[in-house]
Chain A
Amino acid sequence: MNIASPATWSAIFGLISALSIAPTQAAVETSAPNAAANTGATFEPPKEDDIPNTPFGNTIRMGRDIMLDTPKHAARFVGNNLSCTNCHLDAGRMAGSAPLWAAYVNYPAYRAKNDKINTYQQRLQGCFRFSMNGSAPPLGDPVLVALEAYSFWLATGLPVNKEVAGRGYPKLDKTTQTPDYARGQAVYTARCALCHGANGAGQSVSGRVVFPALWGDGSYNWGAGMGSIDNAAQFIHANMPYGMSYSLTPQDAWDVAYFMNAHERPQDPRWLGSVEATRTKFHDSTLSLYGQTINGKILGNTGAPKQTQTKDQAHIAP
């Protein structure tokens, strides 16, 4: 057969408009449309087109842009390849994906993580330090102000200091079988590796991240909320595989969350000089694999945190 004529081939390869018979539909899986589906959330944040054309509106838009492309718009404070929206889907609008509107109305709040009352800006500082493996912007920094303004605007009409459906990630009951590495690996290979890569490093095209890193240097560090197996299982169950919410069984979600968090990632910035001491103080829970031995290696045994290499050190003066 002559394959040397692209014109002929491209001429015949399509012509879909001339459809013939529809074959019987084999069972291709369907799923819930989004993370909000199982949360009972009724609140809808205002539409992005309605951000006012005022100086305040510009700050709101800046907050939205930071959510969507954090390494670009908050370079000074970011040490990995993630963006906020990777874990707070649809730029922080999505119920069941820790939406910013539900968070905003519940601060200030006590947090056991640092045994302090945290304002909303202080809560945001934690995201940069741990999830973004970067450094905390100073309170009042334009980056935090923009994120706060955006969250405030998203929460338009919500009562403050009142739990709201859709906050956080939907609770996922413990399953009868304890999470397992080998089962998790099988789920990962079948349902995740296509996008996040066999090595968990994600995929980029022309220097832009398309599928974010789940472990390794480009991902969240050991201090991040996602490093806790329960948070990860809940997030994954509600949001992954991307576009196929709630399609994994709860057992699969726990197993794959365990597998994901059983890999090396950047050191916990609260490092106390040894893995044992850091585990005892900050990771004393079955939900963290930090300091545990997996495949013959102690996780987190990588020495002191590297000096944060934020994205702009090359080109922006301190």
Chain B
Amino acid sequence: MAVAGYPRLAGLSAEYISEQLKAYIDGRRVNAIMSDMAKPLTIVQIQSVATFFSTLPMPTQAGTPLSDATQADRGQQLAERGDWSAGIPACFNCHAPGGIGIQPSFPPIIGQPAAYIEAQIRAWKSGTRQAEPQNLANALMYNVALRMNDNQIKSVAAWLAAQPTAPKNQH
């Protein structure tokens, strides 16, 4: 079971995890704990850590309905349809239906705690998470994050975190 603010790594792609660890080392992604943890790692260590986590099965979790129905609706709307007037495509149009991700570049966004999702979006907005300027994957999510307001960040994070993982059928 995920702890608030700490992401699950199981089921993320090895490429994605090692790219994130390298970002901590170069200072493109900043976190008090992770930056210090990542810096002493060698390339080989990064690869073995990344491979290890990528082979773990994604944990399953039962859904928990949100108590705030308006927030749930707003979150679901963003995830499934986006808010195109603000330039936000549906999260699921990039992270796959159900948010299960597409290997290797589009990480899953279900099965993560709301605090982690929120923190990532805010980190892009504030510049503590960034990639090399020519990195298309990062530019894509950076642009989405820039366009999200506080309310949208909170609603979509809460709704995503409340969804069951390993959904059997979307419809």
Report A's interface with B, CB cutoff 8 A.
Answer: 1, 3-4, 6, 9-34, 89-91, 93-94, 190-191, 194-195, 203, 205-206, 208, 210-211, 241-245
Smallest beta-carbon distance B20→chain A, Å: 8
C-alpha gap A243/B145 in the complex (Å): 11
Taking a contact as CB atoms under 8 Å apart, the answer to whether B9 and A6 are in contact is: yes
Q: Chain B residues near A191: list those with CB within 8 A.
A: 136
14 A-B residue pairs with Cβ-Cβ distance under 8 Å, sorted by A, are: A1-B41, A6-B52, A6-B56, A10-B7, A11-B3, A13-B9, A13-B37, A18-B31, A20-B32, A22-B30, A23-B30, A32-B87, A205-B97, A210-B93
Report B's interface with A, CB cutoff 8 A.
Answer: 3, 5-10, 27-28, 30-35, 37, 41, 45, 48-49, 52-53, 56, 81-82, 84-89, 93-94, 96-97, 100, 102, 105, 115-116, 119-120, 123, 126-128, 130-134, 136-140, 142-144, 146-147, 170
Taking a contact as CB atoms under 8 Å apart, the answer to whether B139 and A28 are in contact is: yes
Closest 7 CB pairs of A and B: A33-B87, A16-B119, A25-B127, A14-B6, A90-B84, A205-B96, A18-B32
Q: Chain B residues near A4: list those with CB within 8 A.
A: 52
C-alpha gap A32/B85 in the complex (Å): 11
Taking a contact as CB atoms under 8 Å apart, the answer to whether A29 and B133 are in contact is: yes
* In the complex, residue of chain A having the shortest beta-carbon distance to the beta carbon of B123: A16
| Contacting residue for A26 out of B10, B86, B96, B133, CB 8 A | B133
Interface of A is mostly: loop
C-alpha gap A236/B56 in the complex (Å): 38
* In the complex, residue of chain A having the shortest beta-carbon distance to the beta carbon of B37: A12
Q: A9-B49, A33-B86 are in contact. List 5 more A-B contacts (CB 8 A).
A: A13-B37, A17-B119, A23-B27, A34-B84, A205-B96
Given A33-B86, A243-B87, check contact A16 B131 (CB 8 Å). no
Taking a contact as CB atoms under 8 Å apart, the answer to whether A17 and B115 are in contact is: yes
Q: Chain B residues near A242: list those with CB within 8 A.
A: 89, 93-94, 140
Q: Chain B residues near A18: list those with CB within 8 A.
A: 31-33
Taking a contact as CB atoms under 8 Å apart, the answer to whether B5 and A16 are in contact is: yes
Taking a contact as CB atoms under 8 Å apart, the answer to whether A6 and B140 are in contact is: no
C-alpha gap A1/B49 in the complex (Å): 10
Given A14-B116, A15-B34, A244-B143, check contact A27 B10 (CB 8 Å). no
Smallest beta-carbon distance A22→chain B, Å: 5
Smallest beta-carbon distance A93→chain B, Å: 7
Q: Chain A residues near B85: list those with CB within 8 A.
A: 34
* In the complex, residue of chain A having the shortest beta-carbon distance to the beta carbon of B137: A194
C-alpha gap A4/B52 in the complex (Å): 8
Smallest beta-carbon distance A166→chain B, Å: 13
Taking a contact as CB atoms under 8 Å apart, the answer to whether A244 and B140 are in contact is: yes
Q: Chain A residues near B123: list those with CB within 8 A.
A: 16, 19
Taking a contact as CB atoms under 8 Å apart, the answer to whether B7 and A14 are in contact is: yes
Q: Chain A residues near B133: list those with CB within 8 A.
A: 26-29
Taking a contact as CB atoms under 8 Å apart, the answer to whether B89 and A19 are in contact is: no
Taking a contact as CB atoms under 8 Å apart, the answer to whether B87 and A15 are in contact is: no
